[in-house]
Structure 1
Amino acid sequence: MKTTTLAHTPPEWAPQSAVWVGWPHLRDAWAEDYEGAQREIAALVKALAPVVTVKLVIGAPHSRPEAVNLIGDLAEFYDAPMGDIWLRDIGPVFVKFRNRLEGLGFTFNGWGGKYELEGDTETAAAIARLEGHPLKRLDFVLEGGAVEQDGEGILITTRQCVLNPNRNAGWTEEKAEAALSEAFNAQRIIWLGDGLLGDHTDGHVDNIARFVAPGHVICQTPSGDDDPNTDILRAIESELRAAELQVSTIPSPGRIEDEDGEPVPASHMNFLISNGRVILPIYEDEHSKRAQAELQAIMPDHEVIALPANHILTGGGSFHCMTQQVPETEGALP
């Protein structure tokens, strides 16, 4: 039983009052994918708008007219500091604490010093302030995409990311578990090994394993003889089954290449759950069609909507990476 003195992290399928979405504004960084990424994000907003309030972060004035043109009145627009769109990692993680919501703000160091952009360290405070909730600062490096929780005290993460010396030097599993348990009131922490090849986040768990119900986790099986993550995906499934969770699988996208012919970390795990809908990133191939059908069978009480995410993927992530949900306050801990 959870104590009432610690935070409770609602699962993603719990009722949400809003979803924050990042809007691209770094035209040079996105290059030829800039407009394509905006179109894909506009489609995401249109899929979410009927079931939840969508709040768009406009990181630069010049991108506001672009957003208005594609989205119209389907979202609320907010000016806030933001380096790029990855709100899962730079935004606050909202938890329920006593009778209120509280945002958790972790130290952000650009995914281990790889991409340090102006504004990213200010985003969590800005969103918490706009939501009207306090922000609790924690003095260790963590990104929201590095942890996955089932709402009942189970947390999954990866050693490749959380124990990486480019995050918190000297961290052991014991030190990491103490920090994660205190932050999220996690009762059990399950460690996976490596994430997908080419993932600049150093193996975020939201690209490889996701909870769909308490104790019920979903992961991917390899697709095609040339799937670059075959060994990694098989290890993930084996580790989750060894942890005695209920495990379901859907196919991976298989081999998706960049313009240089190198594999990119495309994943069907980077879906977003919001108020009865699941927005699934797809990559316009037969594996994605099968993934949608199989995910719908696993989650029959949700509507699975598949949307292309090829342009967003060039930035390194997909729908889950660029969003952050706000739980409903009703039912907060007494």
Structure 2
Amino acid sequence: MSYRQPAEWMPHDAVWIGFPSDESLWLEDLEPAQAEVVAFAKAVSAKGAGEKVYLVAAHQEAVETAKKMVDPEIEVICHPFGDIWLRDNAPLFVKEDDKKALALFHFNGWGGKYNLEGDQTIGRDLAKEARLPVLEKDWVLEGGSIDGDGHGLVVTTEECLLNPNRNPDLSREDIAYRLNNDLGYDRILWLKKGLHNDHTDGHVDNLARFVGENHLVLPIATEQDDPNREVYDQAAQIAEDFGVKVTRLPSTGRIMIDDEVVPASYMNFYIGNKVVVVPVYGAKNDDAIIEAIQPLFPDRKVVALPAGHILTGGGSFHCISQQWPA
């Protein structure tokens, strides 16, 4: 058996969560985004949750701010980074039987769009923090661009993994080989596109998530003006044709910030040991999504938390976290 990336719903020892630290990036959203992140961290680390939370701040001033906001069981650590999207710039955990290691991929600022100081080094810094063997990989891969079912099946989008701004010299077959060799995925469900205006070029964790072996959840538009209606329906059809069980969940609908459609998604939930934390945005389906997700996780409590200020940075709870498998 070779190293394989465990599914997110499998037991965790801990999780890294990025803490908004740079006022020049977040502007007036800095403090409310910090509050949303802390609420997320507290939900994951709540008594009985059994999951250690490491809140990662970029500098000492942010560390002091975070420490004043969190409970004692949450550990605040300091490592310089460009921004909080640890799903993408942190290493990915892999396992081989009882052995754990960290797969460290190249990160190029989502195809060169956002090259921030610290985003190239945070992965290695966190790897040292975890004190596990590091497996160096020679290609660009972001954790949010893939989602696995823990049994060899991974879902991704062609828009992201086949984008020439990531690995221009790698073919579709090359990438499939590397996903197998580096993360243990022997089957790939290729969806076409991600959400409208997603600056990550279609990260799949905003579109489709595995909730069990061969079981994928995808949004369904409930309003005519949903900008992603066709994307959702096309993805669901491809997945069903592939032979995957598909459950459709209500989408956020059209969410606007500064007169622009933003890639808001309930699919950016985080699956903890005892809780599933779902981002909500003051949208019509905020209550409906919790009712729809709860039956999928009978042994966990589904919690809805506001994430509108985190969204101004382009992502949500899944994007800012990276779990440690047990």
The normalised TM-score by structure 1 is 0.95
Alpha-carbon distance in structure 2 between the residues aligned to 1:214 and 1:98:
19
Select the residue among 268, 271, 280 that pairs with 1:270: 268
- Give how far 1:109 is off: 0.3
Number of the residue aligned with 2:159: 160
- Give how far 1:299 is off: 2.2
- Give how far 1:285 is off: 2.2
- Give how far 1:175 is off: 1.3
Q: Secondary structure at the match of 2:217?
A: strand
Alpha-carbon distance in structure 1 between the residues aligned to 2:66 and 2:222:
36
Q: Is the 8 A contact 2:180 2:186 kept in 1?
A: yes
Alpha-carbon distance in structure 1 between the residues aligned to 2:32 and 2:42:
15
Q: Is the 8 A contact 1:94 1:326 kept in 2?
A: yes
Number of the residue aligned with 1:305: 303
Select the residue among 307, 315, 318 that pairs with 1:317: 315
Please show how residues 204-243 of structure 1 align to structure 2 within 5 Å. 204-243=203-242
- Give how far 1:187 is off: 1.5
Q: Amino acid of the residue matched to residue 13 of structure 2? A: S
Q: Is the 8 A contact 2:253 2:283 kept in 1?
A: no
Please show how residues 25-36 of structure 1 align to structure 2 within 5 Å. 25-36=21-32
Please show how residues 1-334 of structure 1 align to structure 2 within 5 Å. 4=1, 6-50=2-46, 51=49, 52-259=51-258, 261-328=259-326
Could you report, residue by residue, the CA deviation over 1:62-109 in whole angstroms, capped at 9, with x for unpaired residues? Answer: 111210121141411111121110000000100113542101111100
Alpha-carbon distance in structure 2 between the residues aligned to 1:130 and 1:7:
20
Alpha-carbon distance in structure 2 between the residues aligned to 1:240 and 1:306:
27
Q: Secondary structure at the match of 2:260?
A: coil
Alpha-carbon distance in structure 2 between the residues aligned to 1:314 and 1:208:
18
Could you report, residue by residue, the CA deviation over 1:217-242 in whole angstroms, capped at 9, with x for unpaired residues? Answer: 10100131111111111111111111
* CA-atom RMSD in angstroms: 1.0
- Give how far 1:298 is off: 2.4
Q: Secondary structure at the match of 1:121?
A: coil
Q: Secondary structure at the match of 1:62?
A: helix
Any stretches of 5+ residues in structure 1 without a counterpart? 329-334
Could you report, residue by residue, the CA deviation over 1:233-274 in whole angstroms, capped at 9, with x for unpaired residues? Answer: 111111111111111111110000011x11100001000001
Alpha-carbon distance in structure 2 between the residues aligned to 1:187 and 1:169:
22
Structure 1 moving runs of 4+ over 3 Å: none
Q: Secondary structure at the match of 1:43?
A: helix
Could you report, residue by residue, the CA deviation over 1:313-332 in whole angstroms, capped at 9, with x for unpaired residues? Answer: 0000000000000001xxxx
Q: Is the 8 A contact 1:220 1:252 kept in 2?
A: yes
Q: Amino acid of the residue matched to residue 17 of structure 2? A: V
Q: Is the 8 A contact 2:42 2:71 kept in 1?
A: no
Could you report, residue by residue, the CA deviation over 1:103-133 in whole angstroms, capped at 9, with x for unpaired residues? Answer: 1111100000000111111111111211111
Alpha-carbon distance in structure 1 between the residues aligned to 2:85 and 2:285:
26
Q: Is the 8 A contact 2:63 2:77 kept in 1?
A: no
The normalised TM-score by structure 2 is 0.97
Q: Secondary structure at the match of 1:168?
A: coil
Q: Amino acid of the residue matched to residue 21 of structure 2? A: H
Q: Is the 8 A contact 1:13 1:276 kept in 2?
A: no
Q: Amino acid of the residue matched to residue 187 of structure 1? A: D
Q: Amino acid of the residue matched to residue 308 of structure 1? A: P
Number of the residue aligned with 1:332: none
Alpha-carbon distance in structure 2 between the residues aligned to 1:223 and 1:314:
23
